Amino acid sequence: MQRKKRNGSDNRNGVAKVARPSEAAASERRRSRAARTGLCALLLAGAIGAILPSGAEGPLGAASAASVSARPAEEEAQASGVWTFSKQIQTEQGARYQALMLDSDIYARAQEDLSDVRIADASGRFVPYYTDSGETGEPGEKRGYMLERIARVVGAEESVFDFRVVPSAETEEIRGTRLRFDLPDNSVLETVKIEGSYDGKRWEKAAEGELYSTGEGVFRNIIELDASETYGYYRLTVPKEAENVDFVDGILFDVGGSVVGSAFRRAKELPFNVEPDGQMSEIVLYNADKLKIDRIKVNASAADGSDRFSRLYYVSREKGSDIATQILSPDRLNRLEIAGKQVDDTEIRLAEPIRGEQPRVAIVNGGNPPLSIRSIEVGYRVDRLVFEDTGTGPYRLLYGAEGQSPPEYEISASRKEIEGTGPGQAELGPETAEQFVPPDLLEVSGRAEESEAMVGPGDSLRIFLYIVLGGTVLLLIVWWSRRRKGKRGTEET
């Protein structure tokens, strides 16, 4: 006997079974669940992306960027300033103002313009100072003034020639750094003394040097002055044996600023190498300390061991440099014997110092064997710092910091008055390699850290938005869970 079926249900064993839904309905429900799941995942990812730090654009990113850019840019730039070298300063007792001369260690490790050099007191605070390079006036204007002879006196012990400087205009300010005189065609060698005067009556020592000529085209007719001078008169004095030599006229040249006095000069030997270049020998100087070189003394001899040679030369700041190097000295290196006397004219004087790490002197040998270079001695300029001793010492000199700008201190406005008091002579101690961060920068760094920990208006808005987004996501998850549970219950019934 067939069993009756009711509503498509099988009542075998008293268990009711619900008929399977169609495949189309099941697929539709799966797509609906996937869409709801994707929506919740998208909202959750957006909330997490807003909460986590990022560089995203939009209202939140803009608020974050605004809060960061509100910090002073100057403080951020200075916060990286670290000085890596220092020297203790020994001041002179009883002097209110102190002056110290820089040395080769400082030029080697400081920035080229010395913009990172600082003086710090015992508490680490910077002390104002001004820099004195020892130079007089601005660089020369490459002009010349004729010298008119106004007197000649031949004495038993010496002969004197007086000259007046002829300016191109009555109101023109006269200034010069070297004198040139015409020499006779015959062989001559004279050790001369140069004096200067503003009125032609009171004379001051200006320079000493040699004037010579071999009569065969090798000569020296230039005398370099010790400083850039503004004299209106010059006196040339030669020893008595020059009674047959006559100096008729000359020229005063203005070619560059000079250093005043020996206090701003130093000298040392530099290592070097000689590189042959065709008919030339190129001397490479190793200026690792980046010294401000304005004199180069070439100690050399001829290939046969004699001390007689005459060679043209050129000076360049570095290999392949197109920057012209103006030279005050004659354009030849000479070691000669004239009238039984030795002439050693192998020092090159430059109008402006060079600081290249490998400057070069090219010697033209022509058809002659290269010279034997024994040593190279350079003269270089140093700077002088002057500061006020306020009793907050001991003081130290700091240098070797990256990206520093030159300091501007008001003490420089009182320079003339300070120099009039005669500053004391301070001395530098040995170099110490240790990092130094000024207390001002440490305080700035501490304030920056505190400001990052504080909650500002922008942070409050961001937190509120985080809460709203988080709550919305939670509500969506709860709603979706309940809806799914309700659907499951309906399907089971």
371-418 pLDDT per residue, tens = 999 999 999 999 999 999 999 999 999 999 998 999 999 999 999 999
The residue from 254, 284, 302 where one domain ends is: 254
In the numeric block, which tokens belong to residue 234?
Answer: 């010059």
Question: What gap in Å lies between CA 311 and CA 279, rounded to an integer?
Answer: 12
- Mean local confidence (pLDDT), 362-368: 93
Q: Is residue 309 part of a domain?
A: yes
Q: Are residues 333 and 290 in the same domain?
A: yes
Q: Is residue 76 part of a domain?
A: no
With cut-offs at 50, 70 and 90, classify the pLDDT of residue 116: very high
Q: Are residues 287 and 244 in the same domain?
A: no
291-337 pLDDT per residue, tens = 999 999 999 999 888 878 999 999 998 887 767 688 888 899 999 98
170-188 pLDDT per residue, tens = 777 888 889 999 887 778 8
Q: Are residues 241 and 155 in the same domain?
A: yes
- Could you tell me what percent of the chain has a pLDDT over 70? 71
- Mean local confidence (pLDDT), 447-465: 54
- Mean local confidence (pLDDT), 158-168: 92
Looking at per-residue confidence, does 137 or 426 come out higher? Answer: 426
String of b and e for 273-301 (b: at least 16 CB within 10 Å)? ebeeeeebbbbbbebebbbbbbbbbbebe
189 pLDDT higher than 90: no
In the numeric block, which tokens belong to residue 65?
Answer: 């960027």
pLDDT at 387: 98
**C-alpha distances in angstroms, 386 versus 51, 104, 108, 116, 419?**
56, 18, 21, 16, 9
Q: Is residue 226 part of a domain?
A: yes
pLDDT at 448: 47
The residue from 219, 254, 289 where one domain ends is: 254
Instruction: Give the strands of the sheet with 129-132, arranged side by side.
Output: 129-132, 384-388, 97-101, 424-425
pLDDT at 420: 93
- Mean local confidence (pLDDT), 195-219: 92
221-265 pLDDT per residue, tens = 999 887 788 999 999 999 876 656 788 889 999 876 666 678 899
Q: Are residues 412 and 474 in the same domain?
A: no
Q: Is residue 445 part of a domain?
A: no
**How is 77-100 classified by DSSP, letter by letter?**
HHTT--EEEEEEEEPPTT-SEEEE
Mean pLDDT of the chain: 80
Q: Are residues 97 and 161 in the same domain?
A: no
With cut-offs at 50, 70 and 90, classify the pLDDT of residue 62: very low
Q: Which of 287, 362, 374 is nearest to 332 (CA)?
A: 362
The CA-to-CA distance between both ends of the chain, in Å, stands at 30
Q: Is residue 443 part of a domain?
A: no
pLDDT at 278: 84
In this predicted structure, which of 12-26, 96-110, 140-154 has the lowest mean pLDDT? 12-26
468 pLDDT higher than 80: no
Q: Which of 74, 113, 119 is nearest to 100 (CA)?
A: 119
pLDDT at 49: 53
Q: Is residue 13 part of a domain?
A: no
In this predicted structure, which of 111-115, 128-132, 266-270, 338-342 has the lowest mean pLDDT? 338-342
Q: Which amino acid is at 449?
A: E
Question: What gap in Å lies between CA 194 and CA 206, rounded to an integer?
Answer: 5
Is 81 in contact with 441 (CB distance < 8 Å)? yes
Q: Are residues 316 and 247 in the same domain?
A: no
pLDDT at 363: 96
Q: Is residue 5 part of a domain?
A: no
Task: Tell me which residue range forms the domain holding 239.
Answer: 143-254
With cut-offs at 50, 70 and 90, classify the pLDDT of residue 19: very low
Q: Is residue 450 part of a domain?
A: no
Please give the helix or strand (H or E) that residue 441 lies within, else none: helix 439-453
**C-alpha distances in angstroms, 373 versus 16, 107, 376?**
117, 27, 8
Question: What's the domain count of the chain?
Answer: 4
pLDDT at 474: 76
With cut-offs at 50, 70 and 90, classify the pLDDT of residue 477: confident
The residue from 193, 226, 254 where one domain ends is: 254
Question: What gap in Å lies between CA 142 and CA 47, rounded to an integer?
Answer: 74
Q: Are residues 312 and 232 in the same domain?
A: no
Q: Are residues 301 and 359 in the same domain?
A: yes
- Mean local confidence (pLDDT), 108-134: 95
Is 440 in contact with 42 (CB distance < 8 Å)? no
Please calculate the CA angle 356-297-142 and round it to the nearest 5 degrees.
65
Q: Are residues 284 and 355 in the same domain?
A: yes
- Mean local confidence (pLDDT), 422-432: 96
With cut-offs at 50, 70 and 90, classify the pLDDT of residue 280: very high
Q: Are residues 247 and 269 in the same domain?
A: no
Q: What is the C-alpha radius of gyration for the chain, rounded to an integer number of angstroms?
A: 42
Is 353 in contact with 293 (CB distance < 8 Å)? yes
**C-alpha distances in angstroms, 157 versus 154, 240, 338, 340, 399?**
8, 5, 22, 21, 55
pLDDT at 458: 55
Looking at per-residue confidence, does 464 or 334 come out higher? Answer: 334
Q: Are residues 269 and 370 in the same domain?
A: yes
In this predicted structure, which of 42-56, 420-434, 437-451 has the lowest mean pLDDT? 42-56
pLDDT at 390: 95
Q: Are residues 377 and 395 in the same domain?
A: no
Q: What is the CATH number of the domain that holds 338?
A: 2.60.120
**C-alpha distances in angstroms, 107 versus 36, 266, 338?**
72, 13, 41
